[in-house]
Amino acid sequence: MTPVLGILSNPIVSYPHLPLFISGTIVDQSGRTLSGQTGEAFVVSMNHGKPMAIGLNCALGADQMKPFIQNISRASGAHIICYPNAVSGYRITGERGLPNAMGAYDESPEAMALQVEKFAQEGLVTILGGCCGTTPAHIK
């Protein structure tokens, strides 16, 4: 049993009447989760829990996350979650959505809003939020 399935197995059985929201993290532009799954495989492996919503959080900024959100949106009938980091593009070193050299997350709320607004307009997501580096202004 994978760690995620182990974590999920008891709550699903114990609380079947509660809505289940599942969010995974992709590690880089490969689009693979921390356990090595593609976005589509992640969705398939979580469908047994009948999630109300499934999506991705952390590791990437909104612009890098879009193709992976598109993939899980096509693979799932659930609501789609997207919680990107507040970063603009990849660093010269090729690092994922981590702070810049000064330790700051540099994507402004306005820049992030322009990115995620497109996701909503295209019908890719129904639940938007933010992860590392986001502030209440990013979520507003």
b/e sequence 60-87, b meaning 16+ C-beta within 10 Å: bbbbbbbebbbbbbebbebbbbbbbbbb
Q: DSSP alpha helices (H): ranges in 15-75?
A: 39-46, 62-75
Write out the H or E segment, with its range, that includes residue 11: helix 3-14
Q: 131 a known binding residue?
A: yes
Q: 82 a known binding residue?
A: no
What residues are paired with 55 via a beta bridge?
23, 81
Compute φ and ψ for 127, nearest 5 degrees. Answer: -130, 115
Q: 58 a known binding residue?
A: yes
The binding site for Zn(2+) consists of: 58, 131-132
The binding site consists of: 58, 131-132
